[in-house]
Amino acid sequence: MAQLIPTVLVTGASRGLGRGVAVELARAGMSVAIHYGSNEGAARDCRAACAAVAAEAGQQFPLIGADLGERGGWAGLIEKTLSQFGRLDALVNNAGMASPGRADALDSTEEAWDQVMAVNLKAPWFLAQAAARWWVDHPGEARLPGGYKLVFVSSVSAELASTNRGDYCISKAGLGMMARVWALRLAAHQTQVVEFRPGIMETDMTAGVKEKYDPIIAGGQVPMRRWGQPGDVGRAVRSFLVGDLPFCTGESIALDGGLHVPRL
């Protein structure tokens, strides 16, 4: 049985949305490589949470650390996952960082730009490339219904502009095109690609701006009037991976309680 377990790499799985994804995939019977940047303790906690809900004997939850902000920090991450599992059925590009200092567009710095683009844009591209090469070389071996899966976790900020974090918004808008490029390139190789766009989510990333967002949410700017939770993203990714969107690729799917909907 163990040899039929699908295997997934989730980046930034130590905390927040990535952890929510890892736990849902564990619950669905998958082995999950839990990537983290520097917080190994949180990654261990995630592993324990995954093990607690695992559905199949033989599921594995290895921890893999790599700083995606370092030049070439992504190099070797797919290879390490392959050496753990011997295979890869899906990649969830979730790791990301906020705009350092949230500086106004007039004050934004080259240093912040380079950091955000390295983690949020460059690393997902090269991780996708490394995964794609393996998928192209291993036709017909996918263990997930409908084939291999590539996921990008971008943001409602791909669509909604903020003047105090232009670098972040631009990095997330870039992920939308990235998903389309890979969707086209991989469609003939039994690989589906989707971009999920979370809205205002309750994680460490937003802990410092909770007081700003609480009234915005309560006032109805988020029509569903609640914070998004890691499980909201986890369950969406799980649905995609288990084959519930069989004719979907290259699509952007909002997970934001209606925040992105233009209104009058």
Ligand X SMILES: NC(=O)c1ccc[n+]([C@@H]2O[C@H](COP(=O)([O-])OP(=O)(O)OC[C@H]3O[C@@H](n4cnc5c(N)ncnc54)[C@H](OP(=O)(O)O)[C@@H]3O)[C@@H](O)[C@H]2O)c1
In this structure, are strands 90-93 and 7-10 parallel, antiparallel, or unpaired?
Answer: parallel
Interacting residue with ligand X among 68, 130, 179, 259 (CB under 6 A): 68
Quick check: 12 binds ligand X (CB under 6 A)?
Answer: yes
Quick check: 37 binds ligand X (CB under 6 A)?
Answer: yes
Distance CA 38, CA 40 (A): 6
Quick check: 69 binds ligand X (CB under 6 A)?
Answer: yes
Shortest gap between Cβ of 188 and ligand X (angstroms)? 28
Q: Which residue has the tokens 């006032």?
A: 219
* Tokens found for residue 126: 């090269």
Quick check: 119 binds ligand X (CB under 6 A)?
Answer: yes
Q: Taking the C-alpha atoms of 237, 239, 243 and 244 in order, what is their torsion angle to the nearest 10 degrees?
A: -130
Q: Give the residue with the Cβ less far from ligand X, 37 or 176.
A: 37
**Site string (182-221) toward ligand X, x via CB under 6 A:** ----------------x-xx-xxxx---------------
Shortest gap between Cβ of 143 and ligand X (angstroms)? 25
Quick check: 238 binds ligand X (CB under 6 A)?
Answer: no
Q: Give the residue with the Cβ less far from ligand X, 190 or 221.
A: 221
Per-residue burial over 188-221, b = 16 or more CB atoms within 10 Å of its CB, e = otherwise: eebbbbbbbbbbbbbbeebeeeeeebeeebeeeb
Give how far Cα 207 sits from Cα of 155, 185, 190, 200, 226, Å: 17, 38, 39, 11, 15
Quick check: 124 binds ligand X (CB under 6 A)?
Answer: no
Shortest gap between Cβ of 86 and ligand X (angstroms)? 24
Quick check: 42 binds ligand X (CB under 6 A)?
Answer: yes
* Tokens found for residue 50: 């995954």
Q: Give the residue with the Cβ less far from ligand X, 96 or 146.
A: 96
Distance CA 18, CA 92 (A): 8
| Nearest C-alpha neighbor of 24 from the set 234, 202, 245 | 234
Which residues contact ligand X by CB under 6 A?
12, 14-18, 36-39, 42, 67-69, 94-97, 119, 153, 155, 198, 200-201, 203-206
